[in-house]
Structure 1
Amino acid sequence: MKKTLIAFVTLALLASCSKKETTDGLHLTGNIKGLKNGTLYIQRIVDTSLVAIDSIKIDGNATFERDIKLDSPEMLYLFLDRGVTNSLDNNILFFAEPGNINIETNLDNFIAGAKITGSKNQELYEEYQKINSRFVEENLSLVEPRFKAIKRQDQKALDSLTKKGESNIKRKYLYATNFALNNKDHEVAPYIALAEIYDINIKFLDTIQKSMTPKVAKSLYGKKLTKYVEDLKKQQQTAASTAE
């Protein structure tokens, strides 16, 4: 009888632990090397504005830990209020998802030095950004030559640079579309569609939206993408009816 009671209690404890481990919330941990004093704010975008959903006071101990209610994978921001400077290097973007996520960084290179682990969507987003950054850099490299061509009124050079810029944008959008389609089983797919190529031809957005797995379609960004595509279709229908 005693052994049966012990076994029952053990099973109950294991069940309790199992429930805690499979919680839908985000358990965020981290460390900011070199930070002695300051305040961390965990933020999310609400109606195009960043809104703080939690704060962490750092006073001597640079490690931090928080449990955040999270119903669906979502891009969050870890903002550092240094208190003594207006540094632009103060907001880390990370793709949060239910489970354990850790952020390790340092005070001198808060964003560039950040290492984020525990999120598959974050891993995929970083993979996407590595290639996407090349398109951004190429576009920036055209700024100075374009300015010089305008200054010397060289239309031929300007036309050539314009074509290069347009080609670069097309390749950027094609890459983003293919990346979203290849990762349709992760929430990063609809996020990229909404954040990076929202103004692409609707047929591409429609293809991404229809390719999403049921789980992703029910997520925060999956629902937003579905609504966005539906709204665009309605706008096109209205415009077509008005033109007739």
Structure 2
Amino acid sequence: MSKKIILLALICISLACCNEDKKENSNLHLTGNIEGLSQGKLYIQQVQDSSLVVLDSIMIKGDSKFDSYLNIESPEMLYLFLDRGQTNSIDNNLPFFAEPGEMHIETTLNSFFADAKITGSKNHDLYVEFTKMRSKFNEKSMDLVEKELENLKIKNKNNIDSISSEANKLTRKKYLYVANFASLHGDKEIAPFLALSEIADINIRYLDTIDSKMNPEVAKSKYGKMLKSYIEERKKSETKE
């Protein structure tokens, strides 16, 4: 047997052992299918210290199906990035609220973001529900921006003031919706996540309410601990002012 064959065999054994170790040490099995993708690279990313860090990379060669074994501290937002060899855009990056267990992502190459259907995570189901309402708020906000620009052109101050007042009311309504949504779902990690990502600058009493609604498991999660720490820092900062 030649040295090359022996070396190749050792590499295969080593890779097989690594894969088995990865499975044994994982608490999340992610499977998926990207219809239309025959060749490319996928990255599963996690936010660490405000930067995206790669947890796993997957080569696609001929088969559009993929799977990955991951270990996460607690349910959290991860990102499935598709390397198209082009500039990063919203249709290259797919956020999904990961939970330990079995999860599945089904989407297409042509509409990677829009066609995505993600199953296996109660947190992600709630995130989808939330984003639908957030889209409605964003659409209303864009309508107001367009109206404001039109009135700026004709210098109609009365209308501009009215639109500005309406925009402020819409923002308050959106913040209250997020705070209420998070408070209602204190048994899921999406509650502290939304508090931190969507309404971090809201009146501190609303954050306190969300914090008080979290169950013990959520309070000990990654986002639960981050929210508690953030509230403490804000209170210290506001006391000094």
Report the TM-score range of the alignment, normalised by the length of the smaller protein. 0.7 to 0.9
Residue 217 (structure 1) aligns with: 219
Aligned with 2:38 (options 28, 36, 39): 36
- Code of the residue aligned with 2:230 in structure 1: it is Y
Distance 2:24 2:191 in 1: 24
Residue 161 (structure 1) aligns with: 163
Residue 57 (structure 1) aligns with: 59
Distance 1:58 1:228 in 2: 40
Q: CA deviation at 1:238?
A: 1.6
Aligned with 1:178 (options 173, 177, 180): 180
Q: Bigger shift: 138-147 or 105-114?
A: 138-147
Residue 9 (structure 1) aligns with: none
Given the alignment of the two structures, is residue 150 of structure 1 paired with residue 160 of structure 2, yes or no? no
**Aligned pairs for 1:42-81 within 5 A:** 42-81=44-83
TM-score normalised to structure 1 length: 0.86
Distance 1:22 1:86 in 2: 36
Residue 136 (structure 2) aligns with: 134
Residue 195 (structure 1) aligns with: 197
Give the CA RMSD over aligned residues: 1.5
Residue 86 (structure 1) aligns with: 87
What is the SS of the residue equivalent to 2:113? coil
Q: CA deviation at 1:86?
A: 3.0
Cα deviation per residue 1:79-119 (whole Å; 9 max; x = unaligned)? 00013x33621000000010000000000000000000000
What is the SS of the residue equivalent to 2:56? strand
- Code of the residue aligned with 2:213 in structure 1: it is S
TM-score normalised to structure 2 length: 0.88
Which runs of 5 or more structure 2 residues have no equivalent in the other structure?
1-22
Distance 2:185 2:213 in 1: 10
What is the SS of the residue equivalent to 1:149? helix
The answer to whether the 8 A contact 2:26-2:70 is kept is: no
Which runs of 5 or more structure 1 residues have no equivalent in the other structure?
1-20, 240-244
What is the SS of the residue equivalent to 1:92? strand
Q: CA deviation at 1:24?
A: 6.4
What is the SS of the residue equivalent to 1:103? strand
Q: CA deviation at 1:148?
A: 1.5
Q: Bigger shift: 147-156 or 221-230?
A: 147-156
The answer to whether the 8 A contact 2:27-2:72 is kept is: yes
Cα deviation per residue 1:141-188 (whole Å; 9 max; x = unaligned)? 111111111121111010111011111111101110110011000000
Q: CA deviation at 1:22?
A: 11
Q: CA deviation at 1:30?
A: 0.2
The answer to whether the 8 A contact 2:25-2:71 is kept is: no
Aligned residues: 218
The answer to whether the 8 A contact 1:36-1:59 is kept is: yes
